[in-house]
Amino acid sequence: MQYLRSIVFTGLFFVATLVAALTILVFSWLPWRARYHIAYAWAWTVLHLGKWLCGMHWIVEGRENIPQEGAHVTFWKHSSSWETMAQVLVFPPQAWVLKREILWIPFIGQATWLMKPIAINRKAGSRAVFQVVDQGIARLKAGMWVLIFPEGTRTGRGEDRKWGLSGALLATRAGCKAIPVAHNAGDLWGRRGLLKSRGTIRVVIGPPIDAAGLDPRQLNEQLRRWVDAKVAEISL
């Protein structure tokens, strides 16, 4: 039965994503923040479908660690597709750092581009890093938060992947706060598996770190240690 529910959810997930993309395209003339409300509605719908159909509940801990003023950079553990939607509900509107290939998907790619992401070529090396820094600073100055998955791609349970430096470099150059976010979504929604398991996903927002004046590598390591330790603590 859980497998069947997962299949139904996956189908509705794709339908909801396409509908949201077409809606954003239709209303492309709206200001960015107004378009972001459409993305919020999409994320809310999909996460609640997962809750109702598959029993994937969630709780968010550490909301008091979200700064109330300014725009900052969030560093999320990346283990499933779930957190790509959850971040829309948890934090203020963000510009997403993502791989440029997403922009090549018909309709969805064009809609994503309208959300002002930072789309990088992951094979570009240092050029991609400086693209994140340059465009990220511009987004932050415009009042947009910036979301980054420092592992660069989804990592399975127990996998250890080196963190990229671009997010930490951006935070230190911009002089904003760096906020680590750990979760165990990968335990319920696997990287490649169709099955969505029942349970409760814990999202834990860590204390913000004032990145101004810090060494980017030391900041990156501090964030990584906190996220890895917290993920190990909350894993099912």
3.40.1130, 1.10.287, 3.90.320, 2.20.25: which CATH number matches 2-234? 3.40.1130
Q: pLDDT tens across 67-121, in order?
A: 999 999 999 999 899 999 999 999 999 999 999 999 999 999 999 999 999 999 8
Question: What pLDDT, on a 0 to 100 scale, did the predictor assign at position 123?
Answer: 76
Q: Sign (positive/negative) of CA torsion 179, 180, 183, 185?
A: positive
Closest CA to 98 of 153, 60, 144, 48: 153
Task: Give the chain's residues under pLDDT 50.
Answer: none
Distance from C-alpha of 74 to C-alpha of 150, rounded to nearest angstrom: 10
What does pTM read for this prediction?
0.93
Question: What pLDDT, on a 0 to 100 scale, did the predictor assign at position 70?
Answer: 95
Instruction: Report DSSP state, residue 32.
Output: H
Domain boundaries, the chain: 2-234
Q: Two tokens at 198? A: 């029942």
Question: What pLDDT, on a 0 to 100 scale, did the predictor assign at position 192?
Answer: 73
Distance from C-alpha of 20 to C-alpha of 23, rounded to nearest angstrom: 5
For 144-181, b where at least 16 C-beta lie within 10 A, e where not — what string? bbbbbbbbbebbeeeeeeebbbbbbbbbbbbebbbbbb
Q: Is 157 within 8 Å of 187 (Cβ atoms)?
A: yes
Question: What pLDDT, on a 0 to 100 scale, did the predictor assign at position 157?
Answer: 67
